[in-house]
Amino acid sequence: MATTIRTALSAARARRIARHLRGVNFCDTCAQVSDSAARATESRQDARLTAFTYAR
């Protein structure tokens, strides 16, 4: 049952993303900036999670 729900939610998310990105053009320069920002955000979130885990 949980797998079915997870699959349905993933499909809905994919449809939303596809709708959102329809007609959007990407360039390599933009992608590089976006990748750097995404890596920095992920790094900050990981640091917060690590700090929270050890703060207990």
So what's the pLDDT on residue 26?
Answer: 62
- 13 within a domain of the structure (yes/no): no
So what's the pLDDT on residue 33?
Answer: 60
- 29 within a domain of the structure (yes/no): yes
- 31 within a domain of the structure (yes/no): yes
- 8 within a domain of the structure (yes/no): no
- 39 within a domain of the structure (yes/no): yes
DSSP 16-55: HHHHHHTT----HHHHHHHHHHHHHHHHHHHHHHHHHHHH
Structural tokens at position 1: 């049952």
So what's the pLDDT on residue 37?
Answer: 74
- 36 within a domain of the structure (yes/no): yes
Full domain range(s) for residue 50: 25-56
Determine the Cα–Cα distance for residues 29 and 45; give it in Å rounded to an integer: 25
Indicate the number of domains in the chain.
Answer: 1
How confident is the chain (56 residues) per 10-residue block, as mean pLDDT?
83 80 65 70 84 73
| pTM listed for this prediction | 0.36
